[in-house]
Chain A
């Protein structure tokens, strides 16, 4: 028997901001992938957009591969959809137009009112965003996917390659973030 009080304390220690907005958000992400898959058979990942979009301007043979050139138009549409979907969240829940006990307001970063819409901005340093971005660009393309391609579609496919990739980036990212935190870099 687990002492209920101990279980509660442990749960709240692990999930100080509750779990519902995380789970509901995850379900929406899965629904987005599912809608596309059911209609088209495509397992959509977010990082191929980087290479496929570069194919509009770069003549590098690597970027002119058939699979990038033929998918680049719809990948732009997919990415625009992601931006607009997050924008709908910003106009509704983030701006307080809709509220729910299952939604958690932001506890980090900066919220500001811009013409009646609440926008959220990060406080993470520019050099972390830039340096991290470059490594992400290299790593996701070398490693054949990112948190959506491998982490959602690949894991959802029970792909051993994807599970290995996710386990690798999780361990390395946790180690990196703990080191950065231990070095006193915040936010």
Chain B
């Protein structure tokens, strides 16, 4: 971390942001895999309001911040949109994630929040996510070492 990112204010703000984020996941029942699955099985479409509400608030913040200020006060980072480059990994990764999400009803943020509502069985899912993240890192490290893949996948 840079010095800015070790400051008490930086850490406190990240913590407060996480608390709001986790409270929202709890209140919206996204911490309950059953509710996510009922959306994906088209029984209850309420999840569109969760993602839509969150994205709308975030969009307003990002575009207003970019309009009125250059840099964030705690880090000096420029206010920018979250833009990732497009490549095949975006679609294949999204597809693999989609199978996992449709099978289990969990996703990373909601899984952490699920621990907070007392859902200890979700630890199995969190362990699975770490295993999966390690597997893809191992696979991509091997590919990079053998020179089979171009550097700079993202």
Contact = CB atoms under 8 A, between A and B. Distances in A.
Given A38-B65, A41-B80, A157-B82, A81 B103 contact: no
Given A29-B21, A135-B96, A124 B34 contact: yes
A97 interface: no
A93 B57 CA distance: 23
Given A139-B99, A157-B82, A164 B54 contact: no
B108 A22 contact: no
A128 B102 CA distance: 10
A121 B119 contact: yes
B34 A109 contact: yes
Contacts, number: 565
Given A133-B132, A145-B84, A176-B103, A82 B116 contact: yes
A61 to B, nearest CB: 5
Size bracket, chain B contacts: 35 or more
Q: Pick the most buried of A58, A94, A109: most chain B CB atoms within 10 A of its CB.
A: A109
Nearest to A14: B45
B34 A122 contact: yes
B62 A27 contact: no
Q: Pick the most buried of B46, B58, B97, B106: most chain A CB atoms within 10 A of its CB.
A: B97
A8 to B, nearest CB: 16
By DSSP majority rule, is chain A's interface helix, strand, loop, or mixed? helix
A51 B108 CA distance: 12
A149 B111 CA distance: 15
Contacts of A138: 93, 96-97, 100, 132-133, 135-136
Nearest to B103: A132
A32 B5 contact: no
Contacts of B16: 35, 81
B18 A81 contact: yes
A32 B20 contact: yes
A40 B34 contact: no
B27 A154 contact: no
Contacts of B129: 47, 50, 133-134, 136-137, 140
A165 B29 contact: no
13 contacts: A22-B29, A30-B56, A32-B22, A40-B72, A81-B15, A86-B114, A128-B103, A132-B106, A133-B131, A169-B94, A172-B99, A174-B40, A178-B40
Given A128-B103, A143-B94, 7 more contacts: A21-B46, A34-B58, A46-B112, A122-B119, A135-B99, A151-B54, A165-B93
